[in-house]
Structure 1
């Protein structure tokens, strides 16, 4: 699996599927999730439909560069944000969401790709939005999946989902894998699969377990603030996908994104939560292929 330098001191692990001569499609993953959260079968199915698919680990995740020399106390960070102490909050986090967006562009450049379709899920959708806003000439289209605009009144988590997101997770492998079942709280009600959650947790733990990165990624996400005004002026073809079962980022986040971006298409899936259940892959892939045609 290649690891590519994208900026001084930052390298990202990545994997490509399909023919490099086909239309490039960059997949951006969310908070604390490694690129394997875009399942290989999902990537190969997109490649079979004529897309050159690139998935990668965000910085501070998986096999990409970590910033463990900058520990973030999540509770102290959130307290500073709530108190309006922006200088203190900014000082705690070593990078911004815009830096994570730059990583995506730098990876594309390293692969010899000037323009690509960009698909982001959850925090990855926020990164993808930042990519489209910063360098629209390099983004053929944007797909923002199970994400939101950064406006606090949209896309709010339920108390139960927040408790799981911010709750401590065991450090040992067995406990970590068992705790993955807590994520059923935001999964599809119809298609949720505890065994798949445990399997992904096991693969992620063995591949590159860096829990400290979650606090830094979260800080970058929170400090990005609202993208609403900028999204109103976005002129990149945009598809917004959101599951109606999503309790981690309420569907209002997707609706608001589609409302703001001129000409955006909104796809709401009744049986999808904050996940991509296998039975819905055909719907997701069909929509993505149409949008990136």
Structure 2
């Protein structure tokens, strides 16, 4: 699949698409430091099977999309402090810029309107699409995401620690161990309903690492999240039909964050699932697919 330059932001975005060209479009937006491949192939295939044209892409600064090599993000301590005292910190780009990238991709592909689905940071991005580009959205689905309000329960230390831990090496085995540690600490807990398949996860992590490794992008994306702050008041303007999905066992973005998102978007529907963590487990693909498809058709 090609890399395309967005006409509005001028960013080179790598994307993949499946499904009939004339089918209604679902645009998938992934989260912090995550490549488009974090959307499971099984989910993409299931949505195509439901009659949609599915487009997923690498956000700027990750995967095969344009990198901001050399751009420095402010340290988290400095950024949080300046936020508290009301002074903005200079960031390489904003979360709105990332939302504009997604809209720019639709422009470049000649797509007028789409259903947008975002996971984690991707949920924040699609919220901003709904705030700033409502005419381009048919529906919005925000998965395991948040309004960004600082008073909400925070991530479990082990979860945020695993996600932001520095790499201890760039050899393949170290990278795979790092990826598996993230999955174990933020993903769906091992249970009879959601068994932890070590071989499956190892295979996926290895494929992702062989596709691209770019840890430098994560702090810049994280800076954009912090810079955007709380979206509660802005979400009050959203009129796009909205589905909010959240796992009840999410250790990274707690359930209360999903509930807060639904509460601040008028008319939204909240779906919570017991035992689900901060990932897209294969056993949940049929449920996630049916919820997204039904929402898009509704």
Specify the TM-score bucket, using the shorter chain as the normaliser: over 0.9
2:263 match: secondary structure: helix
Cα distance in 1, alignment partners of residues 197 and 87 from structure 2: 41
**Within 5 A, what are the aligned runs for 1:163-178?**
163-170=161-168, 171-178=170-177
SS in 2 for 1:292: helix
Instruction: Specify the alignment match of 2:293 in structure 1.
Output: 289
- Partner residue in 1 for 2:185: 185
Q: So what's the TM-score if we normalise by structure 2?
A: 0.93
Per mean C-alpha deviation after superposition, the further-off stretch among 4-13 and 261-270 is 4-13
What is the Cα deviation at residue 77 of structure 1?
Answer: 1.5
| Equivalent residue for 1:225, pick from 205, 226, 229 | 229
**Residue aligning to 2:30:** 29
Q: Which residue of 2 aligns with 1:62?
A: 63
2-structure distance, mates of 1:247, 1:123: 15
Would you say the 8 A contact 2:82–2:89 is kept in 1?
no
d(CA) in 1 for partners of 2:269 and 2:198? 32
For residues 80 and 101 of structure 2, what CA distance do their matches in structure 1 show?
29
Report the equivalent of 1:161. Answer: 159
1:212 match: 216
Q: CA deviation at 1:9?
A: 4.8
Q: Which runs of 5+ in 1 are unaligned?
A: none
Give the Å deviation of 1:198.
2.3
Structure 1: distance between partners of 2:139 and 2:186: 28
CA distance in 1, matches of 2:95, 2:41: 26
Indicate if the aligned counterparts of 1:155 and 1:254 stay in contact, CA closer than 8 A: no
Question: Who is 2:105 aligned against?
Answer: 107
CA RMSD, Structure 1 to Structure 2 (Å)? 1.6
Aligned residues: 289
Question: Whole-Å Cα distance in 1 between the matches of residues 240 and 124 of structure 2?
Answer: 15
Equivalence for 1:2:
2
Name 2:140's counterpart in structure 1. Answer: 142
Moved more, 115-124 or 146-155: 146-155
Provide Cα deviations, 1:55-108, integer angstroms capped at 9, x if missing partner.
000000100000012133xxx6211123226798632x2110000000000101
Aligned partners of 1:148 and 1:154 also within 8 Å: no
- Equivalent of 1:278 in 260, 275, 282: 282
Of stretches 46-55 and 189-198 in structure 1, the one that deviates more from structure 2 is 189-198
Greater CA drift, 239-248 or 170-179: 170-179
Is 1:199 the counterpart of 2:203? The answer is: yes
Residues 193-202 or 205-214, more deviating: 193-202
Alpha-carbon separation, structure 1, partners of 2:171 and 2:5: 31
1:82 aligns with 2:80: yes
